[in-house]
Amino acid sequence: MYYHILFECIEGKDDHQVEALMFNMLSSYSWDAKLVLTLSAFALYNGQLWLLVQTHTSNVLTKSMAMLKGLPRIMEHIDAPKLWFDELSKLITAMLDLSRCIVALTELPSSYVTQDMPALSEAMATVPIAVYSAVRGMLTCANHIYFAYRYAASAGDLPTITYKINSIHDHLKRKLDLCYKLIEEKKNVDAYEALLHIFEMVHIDNMKVLRTLIYPKDDLQPLFDGSTKRRACISLHMRN
Question: What are 168-200's pLDDT values in tens digits?
Answer: 999 999 999 999 999 999 998 988 888 888 778
pLDDT at res. 14: 66
Q: What three-state secondary structure class fits 202?
A: coil
User: Which range (69-73, 89-93, 142-146, 229-233) has the least confidence?
Assistant: 69-73
pLDDT in tens, 89-125: 899 999 999 999 999 999 999 999 998 899 999 999 9
Task: Assess whether pLDDT exceeds 90 at residue 202.
Answer: no
pLDDT at res. 194: 82
Longest Cα–Cα distance of the chain, Å, equals: 80
pLDDT at res. 186: 93
The Cα 158–Cα 117 span in angstroms is: 35
Residue 114 main-chain phi, psi, to 5 deg: -110, 160
pLDDT in tens, 49-97: 666 555 555 555 555 555 555 555 555 555 555 667 788 889 999 999 9
Provide the sign of the torsion angle of the four alpha carbons 89, 91, 95, 101, taken in this order: positive
The Cα 142–Cα 159 span in angstroms is: 15
pLDDT at res. 69: 54
Residue 85 · residue 148 · CB < 8 Å: no
Over residues 12-21, the mean pLDDT reads 71
pLDDT at res. 104: 96
User: Which range (3-17, 35-49, 130-144, 155-169) has the least confidence?
Assistant: 3-17
pLDDT at res. 18: 76
Residue 232 main-chain phi, psi, to 5 deg: -135, 155
Over residues 21-26, the mean pLDDT reads 83
The larger pLDDT score, comparing residue 219 to residue 213, is at: 213
The larger pLDDT score, comparing residue 166 to residue 23, is at: 166
Over residues 121-147, the mean pLDDT reads 88
Task: Assess whether pLDDT exceeds 50 at residue 149.
Answer: no
